[in-house]
Structure 1
Amino acid sequence: MKTTLTTSTTTSTKLQKPLLVWGLLALLAGIWGSSFILVKKSLVVFDPAQVGSLRIFSAFCFFLPFFIINFKKIPFAKAKYFLLAGLLGNLLPSFLFSLAGSKLDSGVSGALNSTTPLFTLIIGASFFGNKITQRQSFGIILGFIGAILLILAGATGFHINGYALFVVVATLLYGINLNITKKYLTGLGIDSFLITTCIFMTIGPIAAGVLFSTDFISRLEKPDALQALVFAVLLGVLGSAIAMVLFNRLIQMTSAVLASSVTYLIPIVAILWGVLDGEAILFQHYLGMSIILIGVYLVNKS
């Protein structure tokens, strides 16, 4: 899951177009919850570096026409912040999730992804002057207890799954990015869609450089390569591009609190895909995920 900046929010408790709001929420949960299984299916042919870079490069190609059309509106003075947001919020996490997906069940990755709000709060309090209440502190502690359970969960008991740590590092980067974006990429006079476009313009060429420096072209000749390529492109266009547009639209139509509830739905979708794909979901997984979601609820509760 990736969130990005919005320039306006609706704080009214009365929903505008409630059917559309709930439809967008369900669609977002479906897209982001499915991203973990798409990573897994892409890794059948491509290696983690190729899947991660192909994901970002696909999103870059999606946004490129909008960048060209709006070229004169681009605040190039903020280029370093666009690059930083791109690296921390998209490029590096895409590699980390791909690495994790090579050895970690997609359902577990989806559950660990829910620690993003916890890291966002911690980073905000540690470096950006935000306040943490006692209830939120308790939520953070619960969230990380749940994450530890997921990291230690295994079919033969408890042991450290090092690949789960890649997901934790990715969510830490998300937390840093959200705070940086809020502080340095607000009040630019352009909408959130164009800000997202600018972010991907800075990291797309890097992703292309990584992708085409590997044996990506030769792997296209392998069996099932076309299917894996489609999965990776869908991962980028849907999960890293269109989903951001939908999320921004959702926040503009309703409150940030309601929009953030997608955090609770993503693990459910990810685990359902995992079960359908034959992944073993253990009691420790359900317990860890439940504790994380309780912690995230306490962090977000008004």
Structure 2
Amino acid sequence: MTSATRMGVLALLWGSGFLWIKISLQQGLTPGWITFVRCLLGAAVLLALAYGAGQRLPRDRTTWRRLAVAAFFCNALPFLLFSVGEQTVDSGVAGVLNATTPLWALLIGLGTGTDRPLHPARLGGLVLGFAGVLLIFAPWSAGSGLMSLGALALLGASASYAVAFAYMARRLTGRGTAPLALSAAQLLTATGLSVPALAAGGSAGVTWAGVLAVVVLGVFATGLTFHLNYRMIAEEGPTSAATVGYLLPVVSVALGALVLDEPLSARVVTGMAVVLVGVALTRWTAGVAAAGGGAAGQGAAPVPEAADAVPQGRGTEARGTEARGTERPAREVSAPAAAEETGAPR
């Protein structure tokens, strides 16, 4: 499989997650059940892959306590919020709003003082990114239908990712646990944390199409995509993997329009482009700094040679260990690192 083909497959599988959430909702599943099954099946895939690679789950209590925090903010909460948000917002728009995670991470880094001084280009990217979100919402237009609690839930999910990635970079990554095992343990913990959400309404009238959609969401768009992304980072480097992150909103918008006949207005498309350009500005300048030996910037993971991330070693660096289970020697990248590179949900 060529690099371009692998990138296309990964972008399609990962970007389709918003489509499967929407179909699951339309076919009778509640946000709570979607979250629970997604975590459960994703964990099962990663547990099988970790077992096959000879990786063991962590055994110390400290790691599991930290996993509980990471699992809540990086999986259980955002997965639930995305499902809640897509009850009223199109799947394509959900994919675009997910791309704001690096912007939230930059704000968190600035607010906590963990990020370096803001370069003018990065400030421009931050302002431009949120201007794109404002353009998508169009609060000045009474008939836009996007300025809703559902849209705020989607933004909350993206911000939750940013909080999680900052925490994981400091407390979880680069501490000796193999990446597949660490990610499997995190999704396993998220499965337990998502159980209370099952009480929020039943899933009466669920169709086989809904069951199939949530299975694809959990197995392919959650579990398998992490593994493919991890392999891409380990074998081809973070630059190739980061490129996938810019394709996810495009995939979600295209699938929403083609499969679900979601309206594709010029305003939403323009807003998507503005958001992606803003994110690119914040990440591009960070990449230049990393290449020059500086600290990793917000919104982008440090390159493997420099450190171990979002989504996200935002504002921090953690050394990776040598990769295991790859076809050739490469740096090992943890679950948070894999997500950081794309800024996408895991």
Q: TM-score range by the shorter chain?
A: 0.7 to 0.9
CA contact (8 A) 1:57 1:207 kept: no
Partner of 1:59: 42
- Name the SS of the counterpart of 1:295 in structure 2: helix
**More displaced, 242-251 or 62-71?**
62-71
Contact (CA 8 Å) 2:21, 2:217: kept in 1 or not?
Answer: yes
Q: Note closer, same or farther for the CA distance 1:25–1:76 as it changes in structure 2 (3 Å cut).
A: farther
Higher relative contact order (CA 8 A, sep 6+): 1
Q: What code does the residue aligned with 1:59 have? A: G
Percent of aligned pairs sharing the same letter: 26
Residue 84 of structure 2 aligns with an amino acid whose one-letter code is L
Matches within 5 A, 1:177-216: 177-208=164-195, 210-211=197-198, 215-216=202-203
RMSD, aligned α-carbons: 2.3
Q: Which residue, 234, 246, 257 being the options, matches 2:228?
A: 246
* Counterpart Cα distance in 1 of 2:29 and 2:142: 27
2:30 to 42, 47, 50: 47
Residue 234 (structure 1) aligns with: 216
Question: Which ranges of structure 1 fall in alignment gaps of 5 or more residues?
Answer: 1-18
What TM-score, normalized by structure 2, do the two folds share?
Answer: 0.74
Query: What is the CA distance between 1:171 and its match in structure 2?
Result: 0.6
Aligned pairs for 1:21-36 (under 5 A) are: 21-36=3-18
Q: 2:255 aligns with which of 267, 273, 289?
A: 273
Structure-2 separation of matches of 1:237 and 1:115: 25
Structure (1/2) with the larger helix percentage:
1
Deviations 1:217-249 (A, max 9, x none): xx3xx3x62210111121112222111111111
* Runs of 4 or more consecutive aligned structure 1 residues displaced over 4 Å after TM superposition: 64-73
Residue 144 (structure 1) aligned to one of 130, 138, 143: 130
Structure-2 change in CA distance of 1:190 and 1:295 (3 Å): same
Q: Alpha-carbon deviation of 1:280?
A: 0.7
Q: What SS does the corresponding residue of 1:130 show, helix, strand or coil?
A: coil
CA contact (8 A) 1:21 1:253 kept: no
Task: Provide the residue aligned with 1:174 in structure 2.
Answer: 161
Q: Deviations over 1:44-79 (max 9, x none)?
A: 211222222221122233334567775465444211
Partners of 1:213 and 1:111 lie apart in 2 by 27
What are the within-5 Å matches in structure 2 for residues 83-102 of structure 1? Answer: 83-102=68-87
2:241 maps to 1:259: yes
Greater mean alpha carbon deviation, residues 68-77 or residues 182-191? 68-77
Query: How many residues end up aligned between the 2 structures?
Result: 279
Give the structure 2 partner of residue 77 of structure 1: 62
- 1:177 to partner: Cα distance: 1.1
Aligned to 1:284: 267
How far residue 212 of structure 1 moved from its aligned partner, in angstroms, is: 7.2
Cα distance change, pair 255–210 in 1 and its aligned pair in 2 (3 A) = same
Partner Cα separation in structure 2 for residue 296 and residue 139 of structure 1: 6
- Is contact 1:29-1:269 (8 Å) kept? yes
Q: What is the TM-score normalised by the length of structure 1?
A: 0.84
8 Å CA contact 2:40, 2:191 repeated in 1: yes
